[in-house]
Structure 1
Amino acid sequence: MKNLVKTTALLTFLFFVGIVANAQNTSFKINKQKRVLLIMSSYDDMGISGKQTGTWFQELAAPYYILTEAGYEVVFASPDGGETPIDWLSMKAPFTTDYTDKFLNDPVAMYAAKRTRKLRNIDYNTFDAIFVPGGYGLLNDLASDQYLIKLIRDFYESDRSIAMVCHAPAILRDVKLTNGKYLVEGVDLTGFKDAEDAEIELDRHLLFSLEQELKRRGANYKSVKNWAPNVVVSGPLMTGQSPASAAPLAEALRDRLKK
Protein backbone atom coordinates (compact mmCIF):
# COMPACT_ATOMS: atom_id res chain seq x y z
CA MET A 1 0.00 0.00 0.00
CA LYS A 2 2.83 2.35 0.90
CA ASN A 3 4.52 1.61 -2.41
CA LEU A 4 1.31 2.41 -4.26
CA VAL A 5 1.02 5.75 -2.47
CA LYS A 6 4.65 6.60 -3.28
CA THR A 7 4.20 5.63 -6.91
CA THR A 8 1.02 7.71 -7.20
CA ALA A 9 2.73 10.71 -5.59
CA LEU A 10 5.70 10.38 -7.94
CA LEU A 11 3.50 10.17 -11.02
CA THR A 12 1.51 13.20 -9.86
CA PHE A 13 4.75 15.15 -9.31
CA LEU A 14 6.08 14.25 -12.76
CA PHE A 15 2.75 15.18 -14.33
CA PHE A 16 2.89 18.68 -12.87
CA VAL A 17 6.56 19.08 -13.77
CA GLY A 18 5.61 18.24 -17.34
CA ILE A 19 2.86 20.86 -17.34
CA VAL A 20 5.23 23.55 -16.00
CA ALA A 21 7.97 22.65 -18.49
CA ASN A 22 5.51 22.71 -21.36
CA ALA A 23 4.18 26.08 -20.24
CA GLN A 24 7.71 27.46 -20.03
CA ASN A 25 8.54 26.19 -23.53
CA THR A 26 5.33 27.69 -24.90
CA SER A 27 6.08 31.01 -23.21
CA PHE A 28 9.60 30.97 -24.62
CA LYS A 29 8.33 30.43 -28.16
CA ILE A 30 5.74 33.17 -27.79
CA ASN A 31 8.25 35.68 -26.40
CA LYS A 32 11.05 34.92 -28.85
CA GLN A 33 10.14 37.80 -31.14
CA LYS A 34 12.55 38.71 -33.93
CA ARG A 35 14.01 42.19 -33.45
CA VAL A 36 15.11 44.69 -36.10
CA LEU A 37 17.23 47.74 -35.33
CA LEU A 38 16.28 50.56 -37.72
CA ILE A 39 19.13 53.08 -37.78
CA MET A 40 18.64 56.67 -38.95
CA SER A 41 20.95 59.63 -39.46
CA SER A 42 21.02 62.53 -37.00
CA TYR A 43 22.37 64.92 -39.65
CA ASP A 44 20.23 67.41 -41.57
CA ASP A 45 22.63 69.71 -43.40
CA MET A 46 24.17 69.44 -46.87
CA GLY A 47 27.07 71.75 -46.10
CA ILE A 48 27.39 75.17 -47.70
CA SER A 49 24.56 74.42 -50.14
CA GLY A 50 22.07 75.36 -47.43
CA LYS A 51 19.93 72.38 -48.39
CA GLN A 52 18.09 70.48 -45.67
CA THR A 53 18.35 66.71 -45.64
CA GLY A 54 17.77 63.73 -43.37
CA THR A 55 16.16 60.31 -43.70
CA TRP A 56 14.00 59.73 -46.77
CA PHE A 57 10.50 59.24 -45.35
CA GLN A 58 9.34 56.31 -47.52
CA GLU A 59 12.50 54.41 -46.58
CA LEU A 60 11.54 54.73 -42.91
CA ALA A 61 7.79 54.22 -43.17
CA ALA A 62 7.68 51.22 -45.54
CA PRO A 63 10.02 48.94 -43.55
CA TYR A 64 8.39 49.96 -40.28
CA TYR A 65 4.96 48.69 -41.35
CA ILE A 66 6.13 45.72 -43.42
CA LEU A 67 8.22 44.41 -40.51
CA THR A 68 5.89 45.21 -37.61
CA GLU A 69 2.89 43.78 -39.42
CA ALA A 70 4.90 40.57 -39.87
CA GLY A 71 5.20 40.38 -36.09
CA TYR A 72 8.75 41.69 -35.68
CA GLU A 73 9.79 44.31 -33.15
CA VAL A 74 11.31 47.44 -34.73
CA VAL A 75 13.48 49.72 -32.59
CA PHE A 76 14.51 53.15 -33.92
CA ALA A 77 18.07 54.32 -33.22
CA SER A 78 20.34 57.17 -34.30
CA PRO A 79 23.81 58.48 -33.37
CA ASP A 80 22.45 61.32 -31.20
CA GLY A 81 19.19 59.70 -30.10
CA GLY A 82 15.93 61.64 -29.83
CA GLU A 83 14.16 63.17 -32.81
CA THR A 84 15.86 62.67 -36.16
CA PRO A 85 15.51 64.85 -39.28
CA ILE A 86 13.31 63.73 -42.17
CA ASP A 87 14.14 65.06 -45.62
CA TRP A 88 11.45 67.70 -46.24
CA LEU A 89 11.21 66.84 -49.94
CA SER A 90 10.24 63.26 -49.10
CA MET A 91 7.25 64.55 -47.14
CA LYS A 92 5.75 66.23 -50.20
CA ALA A 93 3.95 64.91 -53.29
CA PRO A 94 4.84 63.13 -55.51
CA PHE A 95 7.21 61.39 -53.07
CA THR A 96 4.63 60.52 -50.41
CA THR A 97 3.03 57.07 -50.36
CA ASP A 98 0.35 55.16 -48.49
CA TYR A 99 3.06 54.16 -46.02
CA THR A 100 4.13 57.76 -45.31
CA ASP A 101 0.52 58.93 -44.98
CA LYS A 102 -0.19 56.13 -42.53
CA PHE A 103 2.95 56.90 -40.53
CA LEU A 104 2.06 60.59 -40.16
CA ASN A 105 -1.33 59.64 -38.74
CA ASP A 106 -0.01 56.90 -36.46
CA PRO A 107 0.68 58.27 -32.94
CA VAL A 108 2.67 55.19 -31.93
CA ALA A 109 4.97 55.36 -34.96
CA MET A 110 5.43 59.12 -34.60
CA TYR A 111 6.20 58.77 -30.90
CA ALA A 112 8.89 56.18 -31.61
CA ALA A 113 10.43 58.22 -34.44
CA LYS A 114 10.72 61.29 -32.21
CA ARG A 115 12.38 59.32 -29.43
CA THR A 116 15.02 57.21 -31.13
CA ARG A 117 17.45 55.31 -28.93
CA LYS A 118 21.07 56.45 -28.86
CA LEU A 119 22.90 53.93 -31.03
CA ARG A 120 25.97 53.50 -28.80
CA ASN A 121 23.78 52.70 -25.79
CA ILE A 122 22.20 49.70 -27.49
CA ASP A 123 23.40 46.12 -27.16
CA TYR A 124 23.08 45.16 -30.80
CA ASN A 125 23.66 41.49 -29.98
CA THR A 126 20.01 41.31 -28.92
CA PHE A 127 18.88 42.04 -32.49
CA ASP A 128 18.35 39.70 -35.42
CA ALA A 129 18.72 42.27 -38.21
CA ILE A 130 19.32 45.92 -39.02
CA PHE A 131 17.61 48.13 -41.57
CA VAL A 132 19.23 51.41 -42.61
CA PRO A 133 17.07 53.83 -44.63
CA GLY A 134 18.73 56.28 -46.98
CA GLY A 135 18.95 60.03 -47.29
CA TYR A 136 21.93 62.34 -47.75
CA GLY A 137 22.45 63.04 -44.06
CA LEU A 138 24.02 59.66 -43.35
CA LEU A 139 27.04 60.47 -45.56
CA ASN A 140 28.05 62.88 -42.81
CA ASP A 141 27.53 60.77 -39.70
CA LEU A 142 26.65 57.08 -40.19
CA ALA A 143 29.24 56.55 -42.92
CA SER A 144 32.04 57.32 -40.45
CA ASP A 145 30.45 56.04 -37.24
CA GLN A 146 32.91 53.49 -35.87
CA TYR A 147 30.32 51.84 -33.65
CA LEU A 148 28.05 51.22 -36.64
CA ILE A 149 30.94 50.05 -38.78
CA LYS A 150 31.83 47.45 -36.11
CA LEU A 151 28.14 46.51 -35.79
CA ILE A 152 27.88 45.81 -39.53
CA ARG A 153 31.03 43.68 -39.48
CA ASP A 154 29.74 41.66 -36.53
CA PHE A 155 26.33 41.15 -38.14
CA TYR A 156 27.85 40.08 -41.44
CA GLU A 157 30.26 37.61 -39.85
CA SER A 158 27.48 36.09 -37.74
CA ASP A 159 25.15 35.81 -40.76
CA ARG A 160 22.61 38.27 -39.36
CA SER A 161 20.68 40.30 -41.92
CA ILE A 162 21.85 43.77 -42.96
CA ALA A 163 19.36 45.69 -45.13
CA MET A 164 20.41 49.06 -46.59
CA VAL A 165 18.60 51.20 -49.14
CA CYS A 166 19.40 54.19 -51.36
CA HIS A 167 22.44 56.03 -49.90
CA ALA A 168 22.75 53.72 -46.89
CA PRO A 169 25.13 51.26 -48.66
CA ALA A 170 27.67 54.13 -48.61
CA ILE A 171 28.27 53.13 -44.98
CA LEU A 172 29.90 49.94 -46.28
CA ARG A 173 32.81 51.93 -47.72
CA ASP A 174 35.03 51.52 -44.66
CA VAL A 175 33.72 48.24 -43.23
CA LYS A 176 36.47 45.62 -42.98
CA LEU A 177 36.12 42.00 -41.92
CA THR A 178 38.29 40.58 -39.13
CA ASN A 179 40.68 39.24 -41.79
CA GLY A 180 41.35 42.81 -42.95
CA LYS A 181 39.48 42.45 -46.23
CA TYR A 182 36.85 45.03 -47.20
CA LEU A 183 33.40 43.53 -46.67
CA VAL A 184 32.22 44.61 -50.13
CA GLU A 185 35.15 43.09 -52.03
CA GLY A 186 33.71 40.71 -54.63
CA VAL A 187 30.19 41.17 -53.24
CA ASP A 188 27.13 41.95 -55.40
CA LEU A 189 25.31 45.06 -54.18
CA THR A 190 23.52 48.22 -55.24
CA GLY A 191 22.76 51.72 -53.97
CA PHE A 192 21.83 55.18 -55.22
CA LYS A 193 23.70 55.66 -58.50
CA ASP A 194 25.71 58.65 -59.68
CA ALA A 195 23.23 59.30 -62.51
CA GLU A 196 20.40 59.63 -59.97
CA ASP A 197 22.37 62.14 -57.88
CA ALA A 198 23.17 64.09 -61.06
CA GLU A 199 19.54 64.06 -62.24
CA ILE A 200 18.45 65.98 -59.14
CA GLU A 201 21.59 68.17 -59.26
CA LEU A 202 22.88 67.13 -55.87
CA ASP A 203 26.01 65.28 -56.99
CA ARG A 204 28.21 68.34 -56.48
CA HIS A 205 27.09 68.69 -52.85
CA LEU A 206 28.09 65.19 -51.71
CA LEU A 207 31.05 64.25 -49.55
CA PHE A 208 31.70 61.26 -51.79
CA SER A 209 30.12 59.13 -54.51
CA LEU A 210 28.59 55.92 -53.17
CA GLU A 211 28.89 54.21 -56.53
CA GLN A 212 32.54 55.11 -57.13
CA GLU A 213 33.74 54.40 -53.59
CA LEU A 214 32.14 50.96 -53.43
CA LYS A 215 33.54 50.05 -56.83
CA ARG A 216 36.95 51.20 -55.63
CA ARG A 217 36.65 48.80 -52.70
CA GLY A 218 36.04 45.94 -55.13
CA ALA A 219 32.25 45.68 -54.96
CA ASN A 220 30.24 44.28 -57.87
CA TYR A 221 27.97 47.31 -58.10
CA LYS A 222 24.73 46.61 -60.00
CA SER A 223 22.11 49.16 -61.02
CA VAL A 224 19.03 49.53 -63.20
CA LYS A 225 17.42 52.60 -64.73
CA ASN A 226 17.07 55.69 -62.56
CA TRP A 227 14.49 55.48 -59.73
CA ALA A 228 13.42 51.94 -60.56
CA PRO A 229 13.14 49.33 -57.80
CA ASN A 230 16.22 47.13 -57.55
CA VAL A 231 17.12 44.76 -54.70
CA VAL A 232 20.35 42.77 -54.58
CA VAL A 233 20.83 40.02 -51.99
CA SER A 234 24.28 38.60 -51.21
CA GLY A 235 24.07 36.32 -48.20
CA PRO A 236 23.20 38.42 -45.15
CA LEU A 237 23.78 41.68 -47.07
CA MET A 238 20.65 43.05 -48.74
CA THR A 239 20.75 46.35 -50.64
CA GLY A 240 18.24 48.49 -52.52
CA GLN A 241 19.01 51.11 -55.14
CA SER A 242 16.43 53.86 -54.78
CA PRO A 243 13.41 54.93 -52.71
CA ALA A 244 11.25 52.62 -54.83
CA SER A 245 13.36 49.74 -53.48
CA ALA A 246 12.45 50.36 -49.83
CA ALA A 247 9.29 48.24 -49.77
CA PRO A 248 10.64 45.24 -51.76
CA LEU A 249 13.84 45.32 -49.67
CA ALA A 250 11.80 45.27 -46.44
CA GLU A 251 9.76 42.38 -47.83
CA ALA A 252 12.95 40.46 -48.65
CA LEU A 253 14.20 41.06 -45.09
CA ARG A 254 10.84 40.00 -43.67
CA ASP A 255 11.01 36.73 -45.61
CA ARG A 256 14.63 36.03 -44.63
CA LEU A 257 13.79 36.47 -40.94
CA LYS A 258 11.11 33.81 -41.26
CA LYS A 259 13.74 31.16 -41.97
Structure 2
Amino acid sequence: MSNILFVVTGSDHWTLKDGTKHPTGYWAEELVVPFRTFTDAGHDVSIATPGGVQPAVDAGSLAAEANGGQERADELEAEIGRIAQLAEPLRLEDVDPDDYHAVFYPGGHGPMEDLSSDETSARVLTSTLASGKPLGVVCHAPAALLATEDAEGGSPFAGYALTGFTNTEESQAGLADVAPWLLQDRLVALGADFQEGEAWAPHVVTDRNLHTGQNPASSGPLAERMLETLR
Protein backbone atom coordinates (compact mmCIF):
# COMPACT_ATOMS: atom_id res chain seq x y z
CA MET A 1 0.00 0.00 0.00
CA SER A 2 1.29 3.44 -0.95
CA ASN A 3 0.71 6.94 0.37
CA ILE A 4 -0.22 9.36 -2.40
CA LEU A 5 -0.27 13.13 -2.11
CA PHE A 6 -2.84 15.18 -4.03
CA VAL A 7 -1.79 18.82 -4.44
CA VAL A 8 -4.98 20.79 -5.10
CA THR A 9 -5.49 24.44 -6.00
CA GLY A 10 -6.63 26.72 -3.21
CA SER A 11 -8.03 29.34 -5.57
CA ASP A 12 -11.73 29.78 -6.29
CA HIS A 13 -11.15 32.11 -9.25
CA TRP A 14 -8.96 32.79 -12.27
CA THR A 15 -8.10 36.40 -13.06
CA LEU A 16 -8.81 37.07 -16.72
CA LYS A 17 -7.02 39.43 -19.08
CA ASP A 18 -9.33 42.33 -18.24
CA GLY A 19 -8.91 41.83 -14.49
CA THR A 20 -12.28 40.18 -13.87
CA LYS A 21 -12.38 37.06 -11.73
CA HIS A 22 -13.73 33.93 -13.40
CA PRO A 23 -15.18 31.55 -10.76
CA THR A 24 -13.34 28.23 -10.79
CA GLY A 25 -11.43 25.82 -8.53
CA TYR A 26 -10.54 22.19 -9.11
CA TRP A 27 -12.32 20.15 -11.79
CA ALA A 28 -14.47 17.48 -10.16
CA GLU A 29 -13.73 14.56 -12.48
CA GLU A 30 -9.99 15.20 -12.31
CA LEU A 31 -9.96 14.84 -8.53
CA VAL A 32 -12.72 12.32 -7.90
CA VAL A 33 -11.82 9.72 -10.53
CA PRO A 34 -8.12 9.45 -9.63
CA PHE A 35 -8.97 9.54 -5.90
CA ARG A 36 -11.35 6.63 -6.42
CA THR A 37 -8.87 4.78 -8.61
CA PHE A 38 -6.10 4.98 -6.03
CA THR A 39 -8.22 4.27 -2.96
CA ASP A 40 -10.06 1.37 -4.61
CA ALA A 41 -6.62 -0.14 -5.23
CA GLY A 42 -5.89 0.08 -1.50
CA HIS A 43 -3.72 3.18 -1.43
CA ASP A 44 -4.01 6.06 1.04
CA VAL A 45 -4.53 9.58 -0.33
CA SER A 46 -3.73 12.84 1.45
CA ILE A 47 -4.84 16.22 0.10
CA ALA A 48 -2.86 19.44 0.53
CA THR A 49 -3.55 23.00 -0.61
CA PRO A 50 -1.60 26.24 -0.30
CA GLY A 51 -2.23 27.50 3.20
CA GLY A 52 -4.44 24.51 3.97
CA VAL A 53 -7.51 26.31 2.61
CA GLN A 54 -10.55 24.19 1.82
CA PRO A 55 -10.52 23.80 -1.96
CA ALA A 56 -13.45 24.91 -4.10
CA VAL A 57 -14.91 22.74 -6.81
CA ASP A 58 -15.55 24.45 -10.13
CA ALA A 59 -19.35 24.59 -10.38
CA GLY A 60 -19.07 24.07 -14.13
CA SER A 61 -17.51 20.66 -13.54
CA LEU A 62 -20.70 19.54 -11.79
CA ALA A 63 -23.00 20.66 -14.60
CA ALA A 64 -24.96 18.03 -16.48
CA GLU A 65 -23.55 19.12 -19.84
CA ALA A 66 -19.99 18.60 -18.60
CA ASN A 67 -20.72 15.06 -17.47
CA GLY A 68 -22.91 13.52 -20.12
CA GLY A 69 -26.04 13.98 -18.04
CA GLN A 70 -27.34 14.90 -14.60
CA GLU A 71 -26.95 11.41 -13.15
CA ARG A 72 -23.19 11.42 -13.63
CA ALA A 73 -22.96 14.98 -12.30
CA ASP A 74 -24.89 13.99 -9.18
CA GLU A 75 -22.60 10.99 -8.66
CA LEU A 76 -19.51 13.20 -8.77
CA GLU A 77 -21.02 15.68 -6.32
CA ALA A 78 -21.93 12.87 -3.94
CA GLU A 79 -18.42 11.44 -4.12
CA ILE A 80 -16.91 14.83 -3.33
CA GLY A 81 -19.05 14.93 -0.19
CA ARG A 82 -17.57 11.60 0.92
CA ILE A 83 -13.92 12.69 0.59
CA ALA A 84 -13.16 13.75 4.14
CA GLN A 85 -9.69 15.04 3.20
CA LEU A 86 -11.29 17.88 1.23
CA ALA A 87 -12.87 19.32 4.37
CA GLU A 88 -9.56 19.61 6.25
CA PRO A 89 -6.67 19.55 3.79
CA LEU A 90 -3.05 19.64 4.88
CA ARG A 91 -1.04 22.84 4.55
CA LEU A 92 1.14 22.35 1.51
CA GLU A 93 3.84 24.32 3.31
CA ASP A 94 4.00 21.61 6.01
CA VAL A 95 4.16 18.66 3.62
CA ASP A 96 7.35 16.64 3.06
CA PRO A 97 7.12 14.95 -0.36
CA ASP A 98 9.57 12.31 0.88
CA ASP A 99 6.71 10.95 3.01
CA TYR A 100 4.77 9.90 -0.10
CA HIS A 101 5.19 7.27 -2.79
CA ALA A 102 3.57 9.36 -5.52
CA VAL A 103 2.24 12.88 -6.10
CA PHE A 104 -0.77 13.86 -8.18
CA TYR A 105 -2.06 17.27 -9.29
CA PRO A 106 -5.74 17.56 -10.38
CA GLY A 107 -6.60 20.37 -12.75
CA GLY A 108 -9.29 22.98 -13.19
CA HIS A 109 -8.50 26.61 -13.94
CA GLY A 110 -7.57 27.20 -10.29
CA PRO A 111 -3.92 26.13 -10.73
CA MET A 112 -3.55 28.83 -13.40
CA GLU A 113 -4.16 31.36 -10.61
CA ASP A 114 -2.15 30.06 -7.66
CA LEU A 115 0.01 27.01 -8.35
CA SER A 116 1.55 28.60 -11.44
CA SER A 117 3.60 30.83 -9.12
CA ASP A 118 3.64 28.84 -5.87
CA GLU A 119 7.20 28.27 -4.66
CA THR A 120 6.25 25.50 -2.22
CA SER A 121 4.49 23.58 -4.96
CA ALA A 122 7.53 24.10 -7.18
CA ARG A 123 9.72 22.45 -4.54
CA VAL A 124 7.31 19.50 -4.29
CA LEU A 125 7.36 19.08 -8.07
CA THR A 126 11.13 19.37 -8.37
CA SER A 127 11.77 17.00 -5.46
CA THR A 128 9.33 14.39 -6.75
CA LEU A 129 10.70 14.54 -10.28
CA ALA A 130 14.26 14.08 -8.98
CA SER A 131 13.23 11.21 -6.71
CA GLY A 132 12.01 9.04 -9.57
CA LYS A 133 8.67 8.50 -7.84
CA PRO A 134 5.50 8.77 -9.98
CA LEU A 135 4.39 12.36 -10.59
CA GLY A 136 0.97 12.83 -12.23
CA VAL A 137 -0.35 16.15 -13.52
CA VAL A 138 -3.56 16.61 -15.51
CA CYS A 139 -5.33 19.22 -17.66
CA HIS A 140 -4.62 22.77 -16.36
CA ALA A 141 -2.51 21.52 -13.44
CA PRO A 142 0.70 21.56 -15.56
CA ALA A 143 0.49 25.32 -14.95
CA ALA A 144 2.20 24.44 -11.66
CA LEU A 145 5.32 23.49 -13.62
CA LEU A 146 5.77 27.15 -14.56
CA ALA A 147 6.71 27.94 -10.96
CA THR A 148 9.81 25.76 -11.31
CA GLU A 149 11.41 28.22 -13.75
CA ASP A 150 14.57 29.80 -12.34
CA ALA A 151 15.94 33.31 -12.82
CA GLU A 152 17.77 32.24 -15.98
CA GLY A 153 14.61 30.74 -17.49
CA GLY A 154 15.59 27.13 -16.89
CA SER A 155 13.38 24.39 -15.47
CA PRO A 156 13.94 20.73 -14.52
CA PHE A 157 10.93 19.97 -16.73
CA ALA A 158 12.56 21.41 -19.86
CA GLY A 159 12.97 18.68 -22.45
CA TYR A 160 10.30 16.43 -20.92
CA ALA A 161 7.54 15.14 -23.17
CA LEU A 162 4.23 16.10 -21.62
CA THR A 163 0.72 17.26 -22.35
CA GLY A 164 -1.96 19.47 -20.84
CA PHE A 165 -5.04 21.46 -21.77
CA THR A 166 -4.44 22.62 -25.33
CA ASN A 167 -4.97 25.97 -27.03
CA THR A 168 -7.61 24.28 -29.18
CA GLU A 169 -9.53 23.07 -26.14
CA GLU A 170 -9.26 26.46 -24.41
CA SER A 171 -10.62 28.10 -27.55
CA GLN A 172 -13.49 25.62 -27.83
CA ALA A 173 -14.24 26.17 -24.13
CA GLY A 174 -14.68 29.87 -24.92
CA LEU A 175 -11.90 31.23 -22.70
CA ALA A 176 -8.89 31.55 -24.99
CA ASP A 177 -9.67 35.13 -26.03
CA VAL A 178 -10.06 36.35 -22.44
CA ALA A 179 -7.21 34.35 -20.91
CA PRO A 180 -4.16 36.29 -19.71
CA TRP A 181 -2.03 33.47 -21.17
CA LEU A 182 -2.50 30.02 -22.62
CA LEU A 183 -1.10 26.95 -20.91
CA GLN A 184 0.20 25.22 -24.03
CA ASP A 185 2.13 28.34 -25.08
CA ARG A 186 3.73 28.77 -21.66
CA LEU A 187 4.76 25.10 -21.40
CA VAL A 188 6.40 25.27 -24.82
CA ALA A 189 8.21 28.44 -23.75
CA LEU A 190 9.37 26.58 -20.62
CA GLY A 191 11.13 24.11 -22.91
CA ALA A 192 8.71 21.20 -22.63
CA ASP A 193 8.06 18.85 -25.54
CA PHE A 194 4.31 19.49 -25.63
CA GLN A 195 2.39 16.63 -27.24
CA GLU A 196 -1.12 17.54 -28.33
CA GLY A 197 -3.75 14.85 -28.76
CA GLU A 198 -7.28 14.98 -30.14
CA ALA A 199 -9.38 17.63 -28.42
CA TRP A 200 -11.37 16.29 -25.44
CA ALA A 201 -10.25 12.69 -26.04
CA PRO A 202 -8.17 10.78 -23.49
CA HIS A 203 -4.46 11.43 -24.04
CA VAL A 204 -1.72 10.45 -21.59
CA VAL A 205 2.01 11.07 -22.03
CA THR A 206 4.70 9.40 -19.93
CA ASP A 207 8.32 10.50 -19.91
CA ARG A 208 10.42 8.80 -17.26
CA ASN A 209 8.50 9.27 -13.97
CA LEU A 210 6.40 12.20 -15.24
CA HIS A 211 2.86 11.24 -16.25
CA THR A 212 0.59 13.90 -17.74
CA GLY A 213 -2.99 13.95 -19.03
CA GLN A 214 -4.46 16.42 -21.50
CA ASN A 215 -8.01 16.99 -20.27
CA PRO A 216 -10.73 15.72 -17.91
CA ALA A 217 -11.23 12.55 -19.96
CA SER A 218 -7.56 11.75 -19.42
CA SER A 219 -7.71 11.75 -15.61
CA GLY A 220 -8.85 8.14 -15.26
CA PRO A 221 -6.33 6.69 -17.74
CA LEU A 222 -3.61 8.82 -16.14
CA ALA A 223 -4.37 7.41 -12.69
CA GLU A 224 -4.34 3.88 -14.11
CA ARG A 225 -0.95 4.56 -15.71
CA MET A 226 0.40 5.68 -12.34
CA LEU A 227 -1.05 2.60 -10.65
CA GLU A 228 0.99 0.41 -12.99
CA THR A 229 4.18 2.00 -11.70
CA LEU A 230 3.11 1.55 -8.06
CA ARG A 231 2.39 -2.16 -8.36
Is 2:7 the counterpart of 1:39?
yes
| Letter aligned with residue 157 of structure 2 | V
Deviates more, 1:212-221 or 1:47-56: 47-56
**Residues 55, 106 of structure 1: CA spacing in aligned structure 2 closer, same or farther, 3 A cutoff?**
closer
Q: TM-score normalised to the size of structure 2?
A: 0.89
Q: Which runs of 5+ in 2 are unaligned?
A: none
| Letter aligned with residue 46 of structure 1 | W
Greater relative CO, 1 or 2 (CA 8 Å, sep 6+): 2
Q: Deviations over 1:11-53 (max 9, x none)?
A: xxxxxxxxxxxxxxxxxxxxxx311101111111222334210
Instruction: Show the 5 A alignment for 1:88-237.
Output: 88-96=59-67, 101-106=74-79, 109-175=82-148, 181-237=154-210
Deviates more, 1:71-80 or 1:205-214: 205-214
SS at match of 2:205: strand
Report the Cα offset of residue 95 of structure 1. Answer: 2.1
Is 2:42 the counterpart of 1:74?
no
Report the Cα offset of residue 148 of structure 1. Answer: 1.0
Counterpart position of 2:27: 56
| Inter-partner Cα distance in structure 2 for 1:66 and 1:225 | 24
The percentage of aligned residue pairs carrying the same residue is 30
Report the Cα offset of residue 251 of structure 1. Answer: 0.5
Report the Cα offset of residue 107 of structure 1. Answer: 8.0
Is 2:206 the counterpart of 1:238?
no
| Letter aligned with residue 148 of structure 1 | S
Report the Cα offset of residue 71 of structure 1. Answer: 0.9
Q: Is the 8 A contact 1:54 1:136 kept in 2?
A: yes
Report the Cα offset of residue 152 of structure 1. Answer: 0.9
SS at match of 2:221: helix
RMSD value, Cα? 2.1
| Inter-partner Cα distance in structure 1 for 2:77 and 2:14 | 25
Number of paired residues?
Answer: 224
Report the Cα offset of residue 155 of structure 1. Answer: 0.8
| Inter-partner Cα distance in structure 2 for 1:141 and 1:75 | 20
Report the Cα offset of residue 132 of structure 1. Answer: 0.4
Structure number with greater Rg is: 1
Greater percentage in helix: 1
Q: Which runs of 5+ in 1 are unaligned?
A: 1-32
| Inter-partner Cα distance in structure 2 for 1:229 and 1:144 | 27
SS at match of 1:36: strand
SS at match of 1:37: strand
Q: Is the 8 A contact 1:130 1:161 kept in 2?
A: yes
